[in-house]
Amino acid sequence: MELVISSTRVPESVTVGGPLSPEQGAVSPEQLVHIYRLMYLSRRVDDREILLKRQQKIFFQVSGAGHEALQVGAALALRPGYDWFFPYYRDRALCLALGVTPTEMFLQAVGAGADTASGGRQMPTHWSSPPLHIVSTSSSTTTQLLHAVGCAEAGRYYTHHPEAAEKAQGDYRAYHDVEFHGDEVVLTTLGEGSTSQGEFWEAMNTASNKRLPVIFCVEDNGYAISVPVEVNTSGGNISRLVANFPNFHFAEIDGTDAEVCLRTFQEAAAYCRAGLGPAFVHGHVVRPYSHSLSDDDKLYRSTAEREADALRDPLAKLQMRLLREGILTEEQINELEHQLDHQAAEAAERALEAPLPKVEGITAHVYSADLDPTSSLFATEQVRAPGSEGGGKTGGEKGSAPRTMADLINACLHDEMRRDPRIVVYGEDVADASREEALSEVKGKGGVFKLTAGLQTEFGSERVFNSPLAEANIVGRAVGYAIRGMKPVVEIQFFDYIWPAMHQIHNELALMRWRSNGAWASPAVIRVPIGGYLTGGAIYHSQSGESIFTHIPGLRVVFPSNALDANGLLRTAIRCDDPVLFLEHKRLYRETYGRAPYPGPDFAIPFGKAKIVRPGSDITLVTYGALVPRAMQAAQKAQQQGIDVEILDLRTLNPYDWEAIAVSVRKTSRVIVAHEDMLSWGYGAEIAARIADELFEYLDAPVRRVGSMDTFVAYQPVLEDAILPQPETILKAIVDLKAY
């Protein structure tokens, strides 16, 4: 047979989409050549990067060598810019075949300003391309799987609720264009070692349970750096362990056989597109180049083993097939390879000449540049006239009857869900009743603290539902939903159990915008009951720890002390375009202190604006959360001793209102920072240090701090009272400081 290979340089765009349509019959000779071209180019880009690394012109290299056949098969069975992709660092051939160009790859390797994936922020092969629907990926193994699940859920949601995709002005929706297709598929990939992560099982569980159109592709090269598969996976084969997940299409294949790979992914995609459920493709591949250039597999693999692997190199296998079947002659292969070598070399040269990123740009995209939650857009603090209707189902919505913080948070959720069809609410126990048929005879649960009561009944089970008991699952899926322009408002049941979600919050949710240089964002809201003073809450129902989260760039942290602030700040959290950790003090939920009438459905409070809850002239007391009412009590007692305390409620901890602190401290010259969390390395340390640094000349006394003891909170109330700061503790600090 005749096959002409053009002698002109292959344009970079030739890979986009490829000449194959996903619904192919037998793989034709032309298709095999196309696959070979992509696989070979991928290998050469790796080789060129390795050279650049040895020349110290780039700073890291991890290759996709040995995985190319599997990845090209996946790419050619799917549609870039239509389907969605959550890859990992080894997926060079996948991304090349989807349409990422070699030049773009080298731009990332050198860390150029024009690096389209991250602007010089991420290592090479940390993919991102909005036009191709390749979502920014981190170095963390396995986190991307839950994003893929949330993404698939969002696609399904828009298909059922197309009106939700419409653009709206006045909130985050103005900045998130939505595209969706009823038969879209989501691909996510990972190594076999990464299947040991709990999040792998959490993602499989939800995809299976909800029959989501997600293809999980395990690229099994037998090693996780130096750890062989039988150490990571009991029995040494992940396919055997997942075989009983319902609703899945399963395939375990030789991932070095290009034709088998393409066919497998075509079948998997067809199964997912038909809405039958997710697919699991387990491809056995090889890893001829060690884990990365920082690794040498001769240190832990026998020669015989490495030689056996080399015989399975997918590139050599396909080349042999092209020759054996007379599809290409040796000369034609040489010519093709020569062109591609040249293409890779030229792309590398271009990237090496590209300008570096500008140092002034480092802080761009930590937060949304489009919508500033401290802006006057969110300053609608006027309270609605008594008699207005609205709010939640928990009663008291008419008139000016004071309502609790729990009521007004619930009311805000009802109002915002009515206004914005892109909001979904999920978490542990947040639904009224997962078994809907029960709702005709029962009142409904609506959260362990009843904060989400009535939401499922009003908005339906597709918008308000229970998650599995898995915190990483909750936050990881929220990232996937938010990537698609939706607004997940999720609940972590207790702050004490936020830790399984910490990886997703720290490395994914908060970082998505910055690491992708503004290309992607995941502005979800996480509501979390926090804090102690419960009389018996003990270690695991009393924790604070807000400073751990204010230490994460990209994450807004809110901590209201009363019903009205909670209502207005939650509204801002939902409407803004940044991820928000919304901390709700459990002890304040139903407190008499801080009740307020329902303020109406548009009442919002901007972030970063403290409130003077008690004016005074002698001492500034900076605080927030449950210490606000305790500080008020202490200040009243101090007044009896002639000390006039000004109390500042920060309301939001990131951003915080430095200006308000500075104005007050300049006036009083004495300041205490008080919080419920442990004293050492707490939130107050930062504020105190900044006051000492920037307001030193205004101070008449040292900056004082009040916090809990450096222990966890004990169960026995005698111990709890001693551990947590009390009004008397604050009063003593006030009196001491005045006497200084």
Ligand X SMILES: Cc1ncc(C[n+]2csc(CCOP(=O)(O)OP(=O)(O)O)c2C)c(N)n1
**How many other CB atoms are found less than 10 A from the CB of residue 92?**
28
140 binds, among ligand X, Mg ion, none (CB under 5 to 8 A by kind): ligand X
282 binds, among Mg ion, ligand X, none (CB under 5 to 8 A by kind): none
402-417 burial string, b = 16+ CB within 10 Å, else e? ebbbbbbbbbbbbbbb
Residue 225 or residue 310: which is nearer to ligand X going by CB?
A: 225
CB of 297 to ligand X, least distance (A): 11
Residue 292 or residue 633: which is nearer to Mg ion going by CB?
A: 292
CB of 219 to ligand X, least distance (A): 6
Instruction: Say how far apart CA 740 and CA 736 lie, in whole Å.
Output: 6
Q: Looking only at residues 192 through 211 of this chain, which bind Mg ion when binding is defined by CB under 5 A? A: 192-193
DSSP class of 703: -
DSSP class of 276: S
452 binds Mg ion (CB under 5 A): no
Residue 199 or residue 584: which is nearer to ligand X going by CB?
A: 199
Instruction: Say how far apart CA 276 and CA 403 lie, in whole Å.
Output: 47
Nearest to 281 by CA among 291, 273, 271, 289: 271
Residue 116 or residue 290: which is nearer to ligand X going by CB?
A: 290
373 binds, among ligand X, Mg ion, none (CB under 5 to 8 A by kind): none
Residue type, 106: F
Residue 203 or residue 638: which is nearer to Mg ion going by CB?
A: 203
Residue 193 or residue 599: which is nearer to Mg ion going by CB?
A: 193
Nearest to 705 by CA among 665, 736, 671: 671
Instruction: Say how far apart CA 224 and CA 518 lie, in whole Å.
Output: 31
Q: Which window, 9-17, 188-196, 498-506, 656-664, contacts Mg ion (CB under 5 A)?
A: 188-196
454 binds, among ligand X, Mg ion, none (CB under 5 to 8 A by kind): none
Q: Which two tokens stand for residue 727?
A: 């009004």
665-690 burial string, b = 16+ CB within 10 Å, else e? beebebbbbbbbbbbeebbbbbbbee
Residue type, 320: M
Instruction: Say how far apart CA 56 and CA 438 lie, in whole Å.
Output: 66
CB of 713 to ligand X, least distance (A): 30
What is the SS3 string spanning 490-553? EECCCHHHCHHHHHHHHHHHCCHHHHCCCCCCCCCEEEEEECCCCCCCCHHHCCCCHHHHHCCC
Is the Cα torsion angle 57, 62, 65, 71 positive or negative in sign?
Answer: negative
Interface residue list for ligand X (CB under 6 A): 90, 139-141, 190-194, 219, 221, 223-225, 291
90 binds, among ligand X, Mg ion, none (CB under 5 to 8 A by kind): ligand X
Which of these is catalytic: 541, 551, 585, 675? 541
DSSP class of 380: B
CB of 271 to Mg ion, least distance (A): 25
Is the Cα torsion angle 61, 67, 70, 72 positive or negative in sign?
Answer: positive
Residues in the chain: 740
291 binds, among ligand X, Mg ion, none (CB under 5 to 8 A by kind): ligand X
Q: Give residues with Cβ within 8 angstroms of 27, minimum separation 6.
A: 259, 262, 263
CB of 113 to ligand X, least distance (A): 26
673 binds, among ligand X, Mg ion, none (CB under 5 to 8 A by kind): none
158 binds, among Mg ion, ligand X, none (CB under 5 to 8 A by kind): none
Residue 291 or residue 403: which is nearer to ligand X going by CB?
A: 291
Q: Looking only at residues 218 through 277 of this chain, which bind Mg ion when binding is defined by CB under 5 A? A: 221, 224
* Beta strands across the sheet bearing 611-614: 611-614, 645-649, 619-623, 671-678, 704-708
CB of 377 to ligand X, least distance (A): 38
Q: Give residues with Cβ within 8 angstroms of 386, minimum separation 6.
A: 399, 400, 597
CB of 283 to ligand X, least distance (A): 11
Residue 86 or residue 598: which is nearer to ligand X going by CB?
A: 86
Instruction: Say how far apart CA 145 and CA 382 lie, in whole Å.
Output: 43
3-state DSSP helix/strand/coil % of the chain, to nearest 5: 45, 15, 45
Residue type, 511: L
Radius of gyration of the chain, Cα coordinates, nearest whole angstrom: 29
Nearest to 604 by CA among 631, 556, 572: 572
668: left (phi over 0), alpha (psi -120 to 50) or beta: alpha
Residue 162 or residue 198: which is nearer to Mg ion going by CB?
A: 198
Determine contact, residues 405/584, Cβ cutoff 8 Å. Answer: yes
Q: Which contiguous run of DSSP H or E holds residue 305?
A: helix 303-310
CB of 285 to ligand X, least distance (A): 9
CB of 576 to Mg ion, least distance (A): 40
Q: Extract the runs of DSSP E, i.e. beta strands, from 554-667.
A: 556-558, 580-585, 611-614, 619-623, 645-649, 652-654
Continuous H helices in 55-181:
68-77, 92-98, 102-110, 143-160
Q: Which two tokens stand for residue 357?
A: 């990123």
Residue 62 or residue 510: which is nearer to Mg ion going by CB?
A: 62
Residue type, 243: A
Q: What's the angle, vertex CA 147, arms to CA 142 and CA 149, rounded to 5?
A: 100
CB of 69 to Mg ion, least distance (A): 16
Nearest to 70 by CA among 249, 286, 224, 290: 286
- Annotated active-site residue 160? The verdict is no
For 101, 141, 269, 290, the CA distances from 208, given in Å and listed in that order, are 34, 21, 15, 34
Interface with Mg ion (CB under 5 A), residue from 191, 278, 391, 529: 191
CB of 139 to ligand X, least distance (A): 5
How many chain residues interact with Mg ion (CB under 5 A)? 5
Instruction: Say how far apart CA 417 and CA 48 lie, in whole Å.
Output: 52
CB of 64 to Mg ion, least distance (A): 12
CB of 415 to ligand X, least distance (A): 39
Q: Which active-site residues does the annotation give?
A: 541
Residues that bind Mg ion (CB under 5 A): 191-193, 221, 224
